[in-house]
Amino acid sequence: MSMDLKPLRIAAAADLHCTKTSRGHFQQLFVEASRAADVLLLCGDLTDYGLPEEAHVLAEDLRSYATLPVLAILGNHDFESGRSDEVGRILTEAGAKMLDGECCEIAGIGFAGVCGFGGGFGRRMLNAWGEPLIKAFVQEAVDQAMRLERALGRLETAKRVVMLHYAPIRETVEGECPELFPFLGSTRLEGPLNRFNVQMAFHGHAHNGQPEAKTSAGVPVYNVALPVLRRTQPERPWLRVVELKGNDE
Residue 92 falls within a domain, yes or no? yes
The answer to whether the CB of 74 falls within 8 A of the CB of 84 is: yes
Q: What is the pLDDT of residue 236?
A: 83
* Closest alpha carbon to 12 in 191, 242, 228, 193: 242
Residue 35 falls within a domain, yes or no? yes
Q: What is the pLDDT of residue 249?
A: 46
Q: What is the pLDDT of residue 177?
A: 96
Residue 118 falls within a domain, yes or no? yes
Residue 3 falls within a domain, yes or no? no
Give average pLDDT by consecutive 10-residue segment, the chain, 249 residues. 73 98 94 97 98 98 96 98 98 97 96 98 92 95 97 96 98 97 97 97 98 98 97 90 76
- The DSSP call for residue 48 is S
Q: What is the pLDDT of residue 2?
A: 46
Q: What is the pLDDT of residue 246?
A: 66
d(CA 222, CA 205): 12
- CATH (domain of 153): 3.60.21.10
Amino acid, single-letter form, for residue 249? E
Residue 207 falls within a domain, yes or no? yes
Domain count, the chain: 1
pTM for the full predicted model? 0.95
Question: Residue 137: which domain range?
Answer: 9-244
